[in-house]
Homo-oligomer: A and B are copies of this chain.
Amino acid sequence: MRLRFRPVDGSFYDLLAQLAAQLVTGAALLAEVLAEGADREAVAERMRDAEHVADEFAHALFKQANSTFVTPFDREDIYALGGALDDVMDLMDEVVDMIHLYEVKQLPAMLSEQVEVLQRCADLTATAMPSLRNPGSLEEYWIEINRLENTGDRNHRRILADLFSGEYKAMEVLKLKDIVESLEGAIDAFEHIANIVEQIAVKET
């Protein structure tokens, strides 16, 4: 509806794609820390490194948005996207860190299912970012993320019901609830990214 002319600027898309690629790495580390016999401390350290790399991409993105006169899409949407991608990374880092620091004994089997949802979200998001040049083409991506978030929500409630079933001690439930909630927060943050992308697409039409 609105007329726009904006010079194509590749590096915004590159930075967003590189930031999203770190989320794929982060989700893989999350799957790794759940495996039996995992060296949790070592995984937590690699996660911290991945988180720092993501931080640097985010800063580069914000800096460029600040110093560029004409951005490929609304400046505020660039901030929102960068911030939301960064949020996912922070939450995944938190989960790995808590599994390590809290010395959780028994991880509910259903956690792996939830991490699979997260990995699928990360893959889809990393694939979507380079297509932001043509946001209208990303409808399938945001519909699928919304579907995954619903699955994650159902998983989350089932995991909580399991935690409260009487099988775990109150102290273990306290630890696991924190972990499980940050995990769900990360999936929600992926949905938030998809919502921003949808809004960008709506504005471009």
Contact = CB atoms under 8 A, between A and B. Distances in A.
A199 to B, nearest CB: 9
Contacts of A98: 160
A147 interface: no
Nearest to A203: B66
A164 B173 contact: no
Interface in A127-150: none
Contacts of A171: 164, 166, 170, 173
Interface in A170-187: 170-171, 173-175, 177-178
Contact of A102 (B103, B160, B169, B178): B160
A86 interface: no
Interface string A34-69: 000000000000000000000000000000001001
A77 to B, nearest CB: 13
A161 B202 contact: no
A170 B174 contact: yes
A60 to B, nearest CB: 16
A97 B170 contact: no
Contact of A164 (B69, B157, B174): B174
A169 B177 CA distance: 17
A74 to B, nearest CB: 13
Contacts of A177: 174
Contacts of A174: 164, 170, 173-174, 177
Contacts of A1: 69
Contacts of A173: 171, 174
25 contacts: A1-B69, A66-B202, A97-B157, A98-B160, A101-B157, A101-B160, A101-B161, A101-B164, A102-B160, A102-B161, A102-B164, A103-B164, A160-B178, A164-B171, A164-B174, A164-B175, A166-B171, A169-B170, A170-B170, A170-B171, A170-B174, A171-B173, A173-B174, A174-B174, A174-B177
